[in-house]
Structure 1
């Protein structure tokens, strides 16, 4: 934490810039090609992600369990590599970073960086911050035939944009925590000991608290932003 505090004090002492989801990202909804058209599903090569992929293979994914054909892709347009899929209906509050061009089913909304932010934001930082967006989604749902996220509020959710050096330092720290948690999970699976299960749960709570603390930023005020832009 002291390293992060020092970087913040040095690089953004007046607070961190925040922008909304709709300002930073191109958002698109996933979809399911017609299941009655065999040409869309036979010998598919296009990764098509569902909740099962996250449940079975984790949150950073380069391939999917099920694939569709190129003929099933609307307008030939894919969700770009290194974008986020986040569940905004049905099972809400899950997300993954997808490292290849892909599509997803309709339960997910895709977040892809707009070109003007590509040099300012690390997608791995976005991946970690999306755990906070997950929490927001779970608390802001509407219900009809099934639960869905308030998409107007979703697009107004505010993301911090700290300097890249800070983003990368936070990612490095959280990557280390994630690796330690994965190692403990593997040990638990091998040993099947109740003590390890309790330790893993405690580690998860500690990790979540530490992650949320690392990702808490003071937002720069409009007056300070005006000064920085020479308007004050």
Structure 2
């Protein structure tokens, strides 16, 4: 940070000029390709990713490119407002705009200037017909243009933040795979451990109410995929919850006393037969999404309650839980594990990005 301060003091102590995208690098509209022209997987010839209406998932792969590496795109349909920096030559379809280049603006700096305004771009979408944003929305967006040395130092600082987040995300992915391996290994028994239908160790019943109670009470409200509010009453305690409408098949853990809406199925453990946390890990290991059916994804408890699971003694269950809970906390806890660390780093990055890209306008201070 000290180097950046020195550069700013030396090169732009009175602020910088703000210029629009149109005045600086310019904006290009992508060119449409049909699905029949693309391959789903890349090969030595069709190696150029095609970006259309998503910043995260290429539409396919093509044998040519129309935008060079180091280019930023802004998605104008589908995932409207998404901003992505692409470090390889690629094809930009007409579902995205791609920004040009000049010698006095660092390409990665340009990306950082726009990446904090995805919500802004989304808010400018046209509703009539197919939702989209006009080219003028991005063309008329203004960015601060400090000297190139300052831009490069800002990129260096922000790259360090994003690299750290990427490392933590990769670590989280590896730990999830490790958790899945040990979960499957520990919950698969080859001896004479009793195999029992879920209905014999668990009382399943749907939650209550078609609306989410949010009266600000002390008990968390669980829907089909986690906490959605707080209320003053509860209908479940320390039990797995399985989404049956919405995020059907998703298993979450209801901590302490809590309220479950109709979107969730309460899997109340019969406690003299099964440890609630052991049941939770078993339900995850069943991959309940395979029982989901219907046009509106729906999971019926009766469809899987006859599935048999291994039910060892409670002592053995407790030992298994002590191992798997460590992985679960590490990979999913928003208060203790890697997700919390990643979220903290993301907020730190966003804070510094906003700070580093806030320059006085030298026209206003003149």
For residue 95 of structure 1, report the CA deviation from its aligned partner.
Answer: 2.2
Inter-partner Cα distance in structure 1 for 2:106 and 2:6: 20
For residue 222 of structure 1, report the CA deviation from its aligned partner.
Answer: 6.7
Which of residues 86, 95, 99 in structure 1 aligns to 2:74? Answer: 86
Q: Which residue of 2 aligns with 1:168?
A: 152
Inter-partner Cα distance in structure 1 for 2:350 and 2:121: 17
More helix as a share of residues: 1
Write out per-residue CA displacement over residues 116-158 of structure 1, whole angstroms, 9 at most, x where no aligned residue: x32x111111121121342431232221233222432321111
Secondary structure of 1:179's partner?
helix
Inter-partner Cα distance in structure 1 for 2:169 and 2:90: 29
- Aligned residue runs from structure 1 range 37-186, under 5 A: 40-41=37-38, 45=46, 47-50=48-51, 54-55=55-56, 66-69=60-63, 78-113=66-101, 117-118=102-103, 120-186=104-170
Is 2:17 the counterpart of 1:17? yes
For residue 185 of structure 1, report the CA deviation from its aligned partner.
Answer: 1.2
Q: Which residue of 1 aligns with 2:341?
A: 199
1:25–1:112 CA contact under 8 A, matched in 2:
yes
Inter-partner Cα distance in structure 1 for 2:84 and 2:138: 17
Secondary structure of 2:132's partner?
strand
For residue 48 of structure 1, report the CA deviation from its aligned partner.
Answer: 4.1
Inter-partner Cα distance in structure 2 for 1:92 and 1:172: 28
Q: Does the C-alpha gap of structure 1 residues 26 and 183 become closer, same or farther in structure 2, counting only changes over 3 Å?
A: same
Which of residues 353, 356, 363 in structure 2 aligns to 1:211? Answer: 353
Inter-partner Cα distance in structure 2 for 1:100 and 1:207: 24
Q: Which residue of 2 aligns with 1:61?
A: none
Which blocks of at least 5 consecutive residues in structure 2 are unaligned?
A: 177-329
For residue 65 of structure 1, report the CA deviation from its aligned partner.
Answer: 7.0
Which of residues 208, 220, 230 in structure 1 aligns to 2:362? Answer: 220
The structure, 1 or 2, with the larger RCO (C-alpha pairs under 8 Å, 6+ apart) is 1
Is 2:23 the counterpart of 1:27? no
Aligned residues: 204
For residue 52 of structure 1, report the CA deviation from its aligned partner.
Answer: 8.3
1:88–1:107 CA contact under 8 A, matched in 2:
yes
The CA RMSD over aligned residues, in Å, is 2.7
Secondary structure of 1:23's partner?
coil
2:51–2:91 CA contact under 8 A, matched in 1:
no
Q: Does the C-alpha gap of structure 1 residues 3 and 53 become closer, same or farther in structure 2, counting only changes over 3 Å?
A: same
For residue 94 of structure 1, report the CA deviation from its aligned partner.
Answer: 1.7
Inter-partner Cα distance in structure 1 for 2:88 and 2:344: 34
Secondary structure of 2:56's partner?
helix
1:82–1:100 CA contact under 8 A, matched in 2:
yes
- Larger radius of gyration, structure 1 or 2? 2
1:82–1:112 CA contact under 8 A, matched in 2:
no
Inter-partner Cα distance in structure 1 for 2:24 and 2:358: 19
TM-score by length of 1: 0.76
Q: Does the C-alpha gap of structure 1 residues 50 and 14 become closer, same or farther in structure 2, counting only changes over 3 Å?
A: same
Secondary structure of 1:211's partner?
helix
